[in-house]
Structure 1
Amino acid sequence: MIRILDCNITELRVDAIVNAANETLLGGGGVDGAIHHAAGPGLLAACRALPLVRPGVRCPTGEARLTGGFALPARFIIHTVGPVWEGGEDGEPALLAACYRNVLAIATAQSLDSLAFPAISCGVFGYPPEKAAMIALGEIGKPAHARFKVTFCCRGERILRSYRDAAARLGVVLS
């Protein structure tokens, strides 16, 4: 089941919401800042407790990490770091696809059923929503992931339209 909505990801009662984070995992702008604010100070403490893989980096681009949901209605937060758009010739599509695959791997390992995703990398990271949506729906829409109940939280008309158009082009059935 896949839904595409204009909604506030921090208000959804799902097993896990996905945070479009930066490599520090210590909060930032956009959806990352909203999630940190809504989850409360326990999230920052949990993120600080995650090991650094190199100075200042807890989660490299394309990877994902799990924390509790704290004050959110979601039980967990799966943090992933999408690529910054540099024109598409610097590996951005593969890195964005890896974000979705790594989030789904964590969800599978934790036996989670319902997930909510933002439009990863489409905010300050500048990824064109039309291109990002094709990657997101291409990964989530694979038959192997049919067991998940997924909500894409698309803020704003351009992103919402991009995700709905991508679903139609890829033949992804929406709920």
Structure 2
Amino acid sequence: MKIILLQGDITKMEVDAIVNAANTSLLGGGGVDGAIHRAGGPAILEACRKIRDRQGRCAPGEAVITTAGNLPARFVIHTVGPVWNKGNDEEKQVLRNAYLNSLDLAVKNGVQTIAFPNISTGVYRFPKDVAAAIAVAAVKEFMSQDDRITHLIFVCFEKENYDIYSGLLSQN
């Protein structure tokens, strides 16, 4: 798997799947979640409603997959990151699970190229450096066990996150 780092808008990524930092309702929200729902159009919301009707809310650390609607991707993988409250190991594990479960779901759906945003670092207040370290470690762990995803892109909307990821990824 090749890891690529970009600063930009995840809704413009031409990949098999983009990952949405969703909330438990799956019905859209602010930040990247709202941007994905707006750019993807009503098909994404309709697919999320069907998932909710079938299983209820999406728990933190879990992931579900929908159409990408009007986005240039084929799928959107919606995952719910944790809210940073105490900074304990449980919150860190939930964030790790969000990445691993997204990758697992991607592989099960034949995804070879995937783009991730910075999960939980906005309104969920996860410290950006801690979240980035967890993301990079989870992705590398997955890569060591499964090579079906050929390109993984970390898409950072803001320069601060881009610089953090750049530092982590250059340590290899």
Into which bin does the TM-score normalised by the smaller protein fall?
Answer: over 0.9
Q: Distance in 2 between matches of 1:89 and 1:120?
A: 17
Shift of 1:72: 0.4
Q: Which runs of 5+ in 2 are unaligned?
A: none
Q: Secondary structure at the match of 2:52?
A: coil
Using the alignment, how far apart are the partners of 1:158 and 1:144 within structure 2?
30
Counterpart of 1:116, as a letter, is: A
Q: Provide the rounded CA distance (Å) in 2 between the counterparts of 1:87 and 1:159.
A: 22
Distance 1:52 1:140 in 2: 31
Q: Answer 1 or 2: which has greater helix percent.
A: 2
Deviation sequence 1:115-146 (CA, Å, 0-9, x none): 00000001111111100111101011232244
Q: What are structure 1's unaligned runs of at least 5 residues? A: none
1:10 — aligned with what?
A: 11
Tell me which residue corresponds to 1:91. Answer: 90
- Matches for 1:57-76 after TM superposition, within 5 Å: 57-76=56-75
Q: CA RMSD in A?
A: 1.5
The one of 126, 147, 165 equivalent to 1:163 is 165
CA distance in 2, matches of 1:51, 1:41: 15
Aligned residues: 168
Could you say which residue in structure 1 is the equivalent of 2:154? 152
Runs of 4+ in structure 1 displaced over 3 angstroms?
Answer: 51-54
Deviations 1:85-105 (A, max 9, x none): 113126111000000110011
Identity across matched positions, percent: 45
Between 125-134 and 143-152, the greater mean CA deviation after superposition: 143-152
- Specify the alignment match of 1:139 in structure 2: 138
| Alignment correspondent of 2:48 | 47
